[in-house]
Amino acid sequence: MSNYRTISLDHYATIFKALSNPHRLQIFNILTGCCEPGTLCSTDEMMSCCVGDLDSQLNIASSTLSHHLKELHHAGLIEMQRNGKQVLCSINPATLAEVAALFSSARTTQN
């Protein structure tokens, strides 16, 4: 956690807040495993990440899912893109790398 000041702590707090909810973390988790980061799954592939697919894995009302996706998007963790009737979701690799860098720099401080 040494070069954290390039980005404000509040920014990181926003990211952690987005990941602090079990349902949102589950969405994030599904998304990291679903697509090549930075790409959107096309629907004709085995794994797709449209909102409906998430819905079927998450035992919550679709309005609740929509709310959580908005939070993840506002935190910069995911990207969303309409494709016909569906909206495809994917991880934003830049934010992922940002957080990874935060913690790996903290870890190098050890030893």
Minimum distance from CB of 58 to DNA (Å)? 9
Q: CA-to-CA distance for 105 and 69, rounded, in angstroms?
A: 29
19 binds a second copy (CB under 8 A): yes
Count of residues that bind a second copy according to CB under 8 A:
33
Cα 87–89–92 angle (5° rounding)?
145
Q: Which span sits near a second copy by CB under 8 A: 29-37, 40-48, 54-62, 77-85? A: 29-37
Q: CA-to-CA distance for 22 and 94, rounded, in angstroms?
A: 22
What are the helix (H) ranges across 9-92?
A: 9-19, 22-34, 51-57, 62-74
6 binds a second copy (CB under 8 A): no
110 binds a second copy (CB under 8 A): yes
Start-to-end CA distance of the chain, whole Å, equals: 14
Q: CA-to-CA distance for 89 and 78, rounded, in angstroms?
A: 7
Site for DNA, residues 35 to 74, rule: CB under 7 A: 50-52, 55, 59-71
Summarize as ranges the residues that interact with a second copy (CB under 8 A). 1-2, 4, 9-10, 12-13, 16-17, 19-22, 25-26, 28-29, 32-33, 36-38, 93, 96-97, 99-100, 103-104, 106-107, 109-110
